[in-house]
Structure 1
Amino acid sequence: MGTTQLESVPEPKYWHLKTVLSDALDQDFAVGEILPNERELAARFGVARATLRQALEQLELEGRLQRRRGVGTTVAPPRVGVAVDSTQHGWPGEGSDGWEAVDASETVPAAAVLKLLGTAPDQPVHTVRRTRVTGGQAVAAELLYVPAASVPGLSAIDAPAGPARARAVLRELQRLTLDGQDRSVELGSARADDAKELDRLPGAPVLLVTTRYFTTEGTAAVSVATYRADTCRLTFGDSGVEITETRAAS
């Protein structure tokens, strides 16, 4: 990385430095490579270490860098695209969709989910928890709500709990004929359980992707996926909306 003159730049020094560092990450560093220490970088760019820290923190928030204890600051892995366009999706768990089954249990969903499902509070609903992992780090957590009526062949004996139970619910769901789906995306705050799973603080900004899956009989399942806002971006194209996971920041 070369030096640059920052004194005459009207914008904040750390912001301009962030831009210079971002260009250098693209040109001079490989994924996983460790950056020089703060003292060396500050001297190279002629800035105070406080200014450098601000720039590095911003790059971390944008998912360009990872900071790991005992390792240092490294260049984050490349982005992974996750399409939201309904024409490119099937049932959850079909093929290799990047999600890992964690657990399944019968719960009473929130009123908003019950409204999407069109079910009454006293009707049993299977709640499947899954995580999406990129580069060894969880970047999204999902709660998939499946009314018992959607999976009448599910046996509690075959897979009573845990990941096996979650996979059993997914298998039964995939026996249905998918008639369509719709999605919505909104900005939200991480709940305590999602924050812990995603290594964020409770209340941290997240993207909530809600998907309804339809059969000819009506809504068969509802998915609420929570993506770390610092590892995702929304892009718009001819195929619809796409979520692109950025480099995960630890």
Structure 2
Amino acid sequence: MGTTQLESVPEPKYWHLKTVLSDALDSEFAVGEILPNERELAARFGVARATLRQALEQLELEGRLQRRRGVGTTVAPPRMGVAVADAEHAWPGTAADAWQPVDSTEEAPPAALARLLGTEPGQVVHVVRRARKTRGQPVAAELLYVPADSVPGLAPLDAPAGPSRARAVLRELQQLRLEGQERAVELGSARADDAKQLDRLPGAPVLLVTTRYFADGRTAAVAVATYRADTCRLTFGESDGAGVRLLAG
């Protein structure tokens, strides 16, 4: 990497530095290569480390860089496509579903989720944890909140824990006639448990995809899927019948 004069540039220094670094990533670095440390980069470009960190954080958000525990900052691989939505009238856990069940517990959802579900604050619901990988890499983690009255036939002692219990909740949920879905996407920060599953640092940028499933004129379940925002891009519209699609890597 060469040096550049930033003092006379009218745009923010970190933004111009981001552009310079991005060009260097294309011409001088290979996928997976580790960047020099912050002290060396800041000295080379004649900027404060705070300015450098802003530029690196922006490149990470755009999916150009990855920060990994015990490794450092590396050049990110190209993005891979992952569909956000199943068919419009399909419950989680159907044959075409790419998610893998991890566990199922019974706990009270956060207040915002309780409002979406129409349950009383503090009321316990089933929480199904699922994970998704692409090419062996974790790309998303999901929490599916299911009120007890949506799965009335679920035996309390049937598959008490683990993936078997999660599959049992999903099978029972599929007995309802799905009337529709409502989906919202927003930018967020990875919580500690999500970050661990996604191999990211806590607080890393993520995309939160919240899906409400409707049956019998009410909200039957709510899923909150956390996708790695550093390697994701969204496209909207019909694509092979999948509707909204998320590209992740």
- TM-score of the pair, normalised by structure 1: 0.70
The Cα of 1:94 is off from its aligned counterpart by 2.7
Q: 1:71 to 1:183 in 2, by over 3 A?
A: closer
Moved more, 148-157 or 132-141: 132-141
Give the corresponding residue for 1:92: 92
Secondary structure of residue in 2 paired with 1:154: coil
Secondary structure of residue in 1 paired with 2:132: strand
- Kept in 2: contact 1:86–1:183 (CA 8 A): no
- Letter matched to residue 214 of structure 2: F
The Cα of 1:33 is off from its aligned counterpart by 3.5
- State the alpha-carbon separation in 2 of the partners of residues 70 and 210 from structure 1: 32
Give the corresponding residue for 2:223: 223
- State the alpha-carbon separation in 2 of the partners of residues 26 and 175 from structure 1: 51
Q: 1:112 to 1:53 in 2, by over 3 A?
A: closer
Give the corresponding residue for 1:6: 5
String of CA shifts for 1:176-230, please: whole Å, max 9, x gaps: 443321112334555554455554436x664432211123564332112234544
Taking the TM superposition and a 5 Å limit, the aligned residue runs for 1:98-109 are 98-109=98-109
The Cα of 1:54 is off from its aligned counterpart by 4.9
1:31 paired with 2:31, answer: yes
String of CA shifts for 1:55-78, please: whole Å, max 9, x gaps: 334323433212345544322133
1:183 paired with 2:220, answer: no
Q: 1:39 to 1:158 in 2, by over 3 A?
A: same
Gaps of 5+ in 2: none
- Letter matched to residue 91 of structure 1: W
Identity of aligned residues (%): 73
- State the alpha-carbon separation in 2 of the partners of residues 123 and 52 from structure 1: 47
- State the alpha-carbon separation in 2 of the partners of residues 172 and 6 from structure 1: 63
1:74 paired with 2:74, answer: yes
- Kept in 1: contact 2:32–2:74 (CA 8 A): yes
1:145 paired with 2:145, answer: yes
- State the alpha-carbon separation in 2 of the partners of residues 118 and 26 from structure 1: 50
**Number of residue equivalences:** 243
- State the alpha-carbon separation in 2 of the partners of residues 153 and 139 from structure 1: 33
- RMSD between aligned residues: 4.0
- State the alpha-carbon separation in 2 of the partners of residues 100 and 140 from structure 1: 11
Give the corresponding residue for 1:201: 202
- TM-score of the pair, normalised by structure 2: 0.71
Give the corresponding residue for 1:155: 155
Gaps of 5+ in 1: none
String of CA shifts for 1:121-146, please: whole Å, max 9, x gaps: 69763111223345666554322112
Secondary structure of residue in 2 paired with 1:178: coil
